[in-house]
Structure 1
Amino acid sequence: MTASEVVENSESRFAAVLGASARLPGVRINRAAYLRSALARYCSEEEIAAAIAETPAAAGIPLEVLDRAANESIRFETAKVTALSAAAGIPGFVGMIAVVPADLAQYFGHVLRIAQKLAYIYSWPDLFSDDGEDLDDATKGMLTLFLGVMFGAQSANVAVTRASSMIAKQVVRKLPQQALTKGVIYPVVKKVASYLGVQMTKQVFAKSVAKIVPVVGAVVSGGLTLATFLPMAKRLQKHLASLELTNPTLRVVIVQVIDGEVVENPDDEAGQPEQRDIDLTAPTN
């Protein structure tokens, strides 16, 4: 097998698991519902509404509060995936072949869950469109880069930083579609996908060995999950918290024309807008 075939196989393997994991029930996180739940203990209703309508950073929520909410989400997802992984380790050698692929998809499903939660806490836009079950290419690329950061791929860190800067400069907050699918970030996405495919193969082998001995396999499998998932989530958290999107001066300002006058952030009672523009560069007063 040539080097190019190895790379292509690794990319395909990762893409298959990413797609399967994203389709599992409960993997896709509703941004608005999550932010409301995660911030409820720390923020007023007005701050939460602003975080949902704009971003947590634009709502003026301090970074230390966002870190606390992120840490709670990491603890929750780590406990959940570790318990499920331990339970999946019980069948033993006979059920090994049938269980490992499902266990892997389940594991990556939780990886995708925490990646989304951390992205939303640290002011990234919606990653999934409301309609359609399949991932679009931009979302695939962004999730690949997030997972690359979690697995320690330095090139993924650089690409996520670049995507963050592009989003911060956009008039409308959305993923940089062109850059992720055809432009400057796309080659890094492909490289990271290949790297993750190789890492995934190693993980399958480790979990397969852990499942050979019943009960003991459950402990080992759960331990392997805990030892990998927690530091991976922390790695992504640290990187996202350091990016430009967490800057509260990147405020979304709604500008509407009402009765011939330009009004910033008008109340709903003021009338129906004729025009809407968004300026992310306006400073917070």
Structure 2
Amino acid sequence: METTEAILETNKKQKEFYNNIKQNFFTKIWAKFRNGLLNQIRKNVGIQDQAYLLHKEWFGDLSNKKVLDLGCFTGNYWSYYLAEHSKQYLGIDLSDVAIEKLKEKLKFLPNAKAEAVDFLSPDFLEKDFDLIYAYGVLHHFKNTTILIDRLNEKLATNGTIISYDPLETSLPIKIIRAIYRPFQSDAAWEWPLTKKTFYQYKNAFNIIERRGVLGKSKWVAFLDILPISENKKKIIGQKWHKQDWDKSFTSDRVMFSCMHLTMLMQKK
């Protein structure tokens, strides 16, 4: 099993990668698929906005909360909102280049700061966070046990985590990722959640709510081969997405058919 020291060494490479992003041909192809076709599906059926709005609902009243924005790069969709409304905000990322840009965005908010630091490093001393916002971050840690221990260490009593990560539990996606992985330029720190890792989180935290996206709705892309209108495709996609969204709340089977999972977890 990978040690903390090994992860810290990997993260040095990850820092260099994100300071000077250079994707190989295959990674660019995957990014084009992910950011092109999948983003178009998300837009057409309202997936991304729904997830963001749910996160805002999960934030609750931030006025007395100490917030950690984990792996936020130059700032994610909610970074400035979290910084503006929380009692105390800290955004951290491996990339010092990205953090300098975030600092510029936050310079007029006295309760907010940003720091280039590794979450697992002994140099990161801050703790007692009421909320850890981890958008697209948890799957960057190969050793889930070490990550969970660190999250628990940094959370305040009854503190919560909001996460959003890719799943590798749908068989077609698992096959595609397996074919792509040997050529992936960021493979050393890309570990989409498996059934095993999900159950590790379930055992470690109270999962208050969870929602899966791009389950049945990911097949909307294949409707393009059918002689139906764009509006009809949109209606079908929205219907499938609603099924994914509603049923993944309670059904593991539906959740594991999805490509992405967002969770609200609370410290036990």
Instruction: Say whether the fold is shared (TM-score over 0.5).
Output: no
Compare relative contact order (CA 8 Å, sep 6+) and give the higher one, 1 or 2. Answer: 1
Higher strand share: 2
Please, what TM-score do these two structures have when normalized by structure 2?
0.31
- Which has more radius of gyration? 1
